Structure 1
Amino acid sequence: METKAPNPTIIATKWALFYLGVSIVLTYTYEFLHLAQDSPIKYISYLPFIGFCFLAQKEYKDQLGGFITFGQAFNPGFRYALFSGLLTAVFLYLYLSVLSPGTMQQIVDAQGAKLAEQNQSQETIDKAAEMTLKYGAVIGSVVAAIGTLIFGCIVALIGAAILKKERTAYDIIDETPTDPTL
């Protein structure tokens, strides 16, 4: 009887969808609480990202029988980071352009205030505001996807180093049939 190897893509996708759900809840919680765009409390969203990456790697390790190489452990973590980045980018684009377009105006206002503090001309501030309103959602989504992937790779490397447990000569599975008629 041949056992089917676990699929790291399915595991990573499941945990990426969990992360997306938590991210959506956190995003609307921050909006409901009227937190500033640069509030340090928003760093809380890194905790579920890190936790779900480790859980994806741990689930894959468990499905492999408790033994996993570094590369095998990194695989679901990388896929989780990739899928989370893509899903987050899609949500961020929809959020900034459709679901909450007022957020882009808040970003533009904060950007204009910073430029005014730096004694930039009104023409420069207006041009920056125009570019941000026009391309901000797309640029933000691309940056979020790439940033999530890079951060996720770092987390996946750490998780792989922690979870790595290679099979030794003493851990060889006894594959003798248990049926006495064989």
Structure 2
Amino acid sequence: MNELEVSPGKITFRWAWQMATIMVVATLLVHFSGTDQKSPVVYLVYVPFVFGLMMSIKQHRDKDLEGFISIKRAFTTGFRYASLVSFVMGVFMFIYLKYINAEVFEQSLQEAERMMLSQGKSSEEIETGINMARSWGVFLAAISSSIGYTLLGAFLSLIAAFIFKNPRPIYIEVEREEL
């Protein structure tokens, strides 16, 4: 089947929702288990992200495209997957930092305040900066999380495109019997 005839939408959508759900559950498990936010265990959330990206490309190639896929199609499939996951994770990160684990954001504000004090900023500058961060910080953290997942997904999609590429031959030789 021709690549232009088949969209990777269904496969990427299914994998993105499955892996985003697993990532949300893993994040909540890490939080409610009392694991320190600076622990390397926190980075295990990226494992389902990478797995889903690879599987969405592989499944699109094998099921929809008869085992053939170009680098461009493999990249766009992975990037679509990453874009969907990044949107879901951005929304989740906003909810997580605003309502579930607001202490993490408050700790980062306290750390920023200590850093500004060590830089010799005036108390008025510190107060203005902290108030601005308090009003926009959670939203900006969610946006930067979403952008981070998208950029990571683009990078991994490029790598995966070269791993899974299998271009369709231009022509296929057909054996025939001589008369």
Bin of the TM-score, shorter chain as denominator length? 0.7 to 0.9
- Whether the aligned pair in 1 keeps the contact of 2:86 and 2:147 (CA below 8 Å) is yes
Over aligned residues, Cα RMSD in angstroms? 2.6
Tell me the TM-score normalized by structure 2.
0.81
Structure 2 residue runs of 5 or longer lacking an equivalent are none
Whole-angstrom CA distance in 1 between matches of 2:38 and 2:103? 16
Q: Which residue of 2 aligns with 1:135?
A: 136
Q: Which residue of 2 aligns with 1:13?
A: 13
Q: What is the count of residue pairs matched by the alignment?
A: 171
Q: Which residue of 2 aligns with 1:27?
A: 27
Change in 2 beyond 3 A, CA 1:75/1:151: same
In structure 1, give the amino acid aligned to 2:9: T
Change in 2 beyond 3 A, CA 1:169/1:20: closer
Change in 2 beyond 3 A, CA 1:31/1:129: farther
- Whether the aligned pair in 2 keeps the contact of 1:84 and 1:148 (CA below 8 Å) is yes
Change in 2 beyond 3 A, CA 1:40/1:125: farther
How far does residue 120 in structure 1 lie from its aligned partner after superposition? Answer: 4.1
Change in 2 beyond 3 A, CA 1:120/1:40: farther
Change in 2 beyond 3 A, CA 1:44/1:156: same
Q: Which residue of 1 aligns with 2:84?
A: 83
How far does residue 149 in structure 1 lie from its aligned partner after superposition? Answer: 1.1
Structure 1 residue runs of 5 or longer lacking an equivalent are 175-182
How far does residue 118 in structure 1 lie from its aligned partner after superposition? Answer: 4.2
Change in 2 beyond 3 A, CA 1:126/1:30: farther
